Amino acid sequence: MANITLGEDTLTCQAHETVLDTLLRNNRQIPHSCRQGLCQSCLMRSLDNPPPVSSQVGIKDTLQKQNYFLPCICHPEQDMTIALPHQEMASSTVRVIEKQRLATDIIRLLLTHEDSFNFSAGQFVNLKRADGLTRSYSIANTPHPDKFLEFHIRRLPDGQFSNWVYDDLNPGDTVTISEAQGSCLYLPGRAEQPLLLVGTGTGLAPLVGIIYDALQQNHTGPIHLFHGSRDIDGLYLMNEMRELAATVDNFYYTPCLSGENTAADLITGRAHDVAFAATPTLKGWRVYLCGHPEMVQQTKKKAYLKGASLSDIYADAFHVNLPTGNVVSSHAF
Ligand SMILES: Cc1cc2nc3c(=O)[nH]c(=O)nc-3n(C[C@H](O)[C@H](O)[C@H](O)COP(=O)(O)OP(=O)(O)OC[C@H]3O[C@@H](n4cnc5c(N)ncnc54)[C@H](O)[C@@H]3O)c2cc1C
């Protein structure tokens, strides 16, 4: 068992615990969100020994060299003296301009940034509340001269951040936002390539952004969107997507219902099953998968087995975590 020194305190990291688990168990307030090494909101620095290489995956080379690491995936191999980064990932302040109900438990949150903010539709940011509570959300719009950012946020039962957004965050209020991260985005080039986009729940958010981005960049290949939800209420933006499909020749939209209720004009089944049944091969296709972690994981494998090249598969799993560090994967986001 390794000892972790933070400031004046030395804490013991139990077997199988990550450094973040140890810090949270000892009530240290550390910004964190995904606990999977994805969002980098818990970034810390080792002041003595180099951290395990596996805890530096995905961090910029320049930060790796300075012994930055991700405590959420760090199983220490020796004692470590650690600190919060002197210079966190660049962050800025954004202001709420609008909250709009998209479904019973999904809202569209519009934020405006005064300073320049570089992003691509489909990337995600970490939003941080004044007390440090941080969560990741995907950007649903393309860069706009009016400098706004759009998010689709689902309220989860007892979810700390999502309920705060619903109940307490109002137009005019500010939140802290990280730099945009992630590589689930539209890259120009190969304009004729067919695109398959599969999302569950608010996994639609990054996909909508990617679709508008692809169309703005004159993508000429077919763009197929399959959106899944257990109930019809969760198939938000159905009218907007249907209108888009009616006006854009190369865009096709299939809303899928996977729960017990069915509807005459909707396909029944899980979005990824419906998508695969409709697509004999994915050889040469570009595939985007966003939302429920299990769906993303399974569909990524299946897309590869159906012929998509791994470098053409872009995925964002919306992990939610329990205080113990176990990933909750039973919610349809
Ligand atoms: C890259 C990325 C992008 C994302 N994009 C989006 C997006 O665009 N839209 C979106 O809505 N979400 C998105 N998410 C998910 C988002 O980051 C949050 O995880 C989500 O909003 C829940 O946060 P919360 O604070 O409301 O819930 P938490 O407080 O973190 O709780 C999550 C759930 O776990 C349950 N839970 C908590 N503790 C326990 C316990 N002890 N026992 C049993 N259950 C428990 C809660 O009831 C709740 O339902 C994304 C996640 C990632 C990693």
Distance, CA 78 to ligand 1 centroid (Å)?
32
Sign of CA dihedral 328, 270, 199, 241: negative
Closest residue by CA, ligand 1 atom 37:
322
Q: Residue 321: its pLDDT value, please? A: 53
Distance, CA 247 to ligand 1 centroid (Å)?
35
Closest ligand 1 atom to Cα of 321: 30
Burial 47-60 (b: 16+ CB within 10 A, else e): eeeebbeebbeebe
Residue 110: phi, psi to the nearest 5? -105, 125
Distance, CA 128 to ligand 1 centroid (Å)?
14
DSSP secondary structure letter of residue 71? G
* Ligand 1 mutation pick, 320, 322, 330, 331, max ligand atoms within 8 A of CB: 320
* Ligand 1 mutation pick, 107, 135, 290, 326, max ligand atoms within 8 A of CB: 135
**Cβ–ligand 1 contact at 152 (below 6 Å):** yes
| Rg of the chain, C-alpha, whole Å | 21
**Cβ–ligand 1 contact at 136 (below 6 Å):** yes
Q: Residue 13: its pLDDT value, please? A: 96
Closest ligand 1 atom to Cα of 106: 11
**Cβ–ligand 1 contact at 320 (below 6 Å):** yes
Cβ(240)–Cβ(227) below 8 Å: no
Sign of CA dihedral 277, 300, 288, 191: negative
User: Do β-strands 251-257 and 9-12 pair in parallel, antiparallel, or remain unpaired?
Assistant: unpaired
Burial class (CB in 10 A: 0-12, 13-18, 19+), 328: exposed
Q: Which two tokens stand for residue 272?
A: 């990824």
Distance, CA 157 to ligand 1 centroid (Å)?
9
Q: Which two tokens stand for residue 5?
A: 């020194």
pLDDT digits (tens, 9 = 90+) for 109-164: 999 998 888 898 999 999 999 999 999 999 999 998 889 999 999 999 999 999 99
Q: Residue 193: its pLDDT value, please? A: 97
**Cβ–ligand 1 contact at 40 (below 6 Å):** no
Sign of CA dihedral 321, 325, 328, 329: positive
Tokens 């398959």 correspond to 196
**Cβ–ligand 1 contact at 318 (below 6 Å):** yes
Q: Residue 261: its pLDDT value, please? A: 79
Q: Residue 155: its pLDDT value, please? A: 97
- Give average pLDDT by consecutive 10-residue segment, the chain, 333 residues: 92 95 93 88 90 90 80 95 72 94 97 88 93 94 92 96 97 93 85 97 97 97 97 96 98 94 87 96 96 91 94 84 42 45
Closest residue by CA, ligand 1 atom 38:
322
Distance, CA 329 to ligand 1 centroid (Å)?
10
Closest ligand 1 atom to Cα of 33: 17
**Complete domains list, the chain, with CATH:** 3-83 (3.10.20.30), 91-182 (2.40.30.10), 195-321 (3.40.50.80)
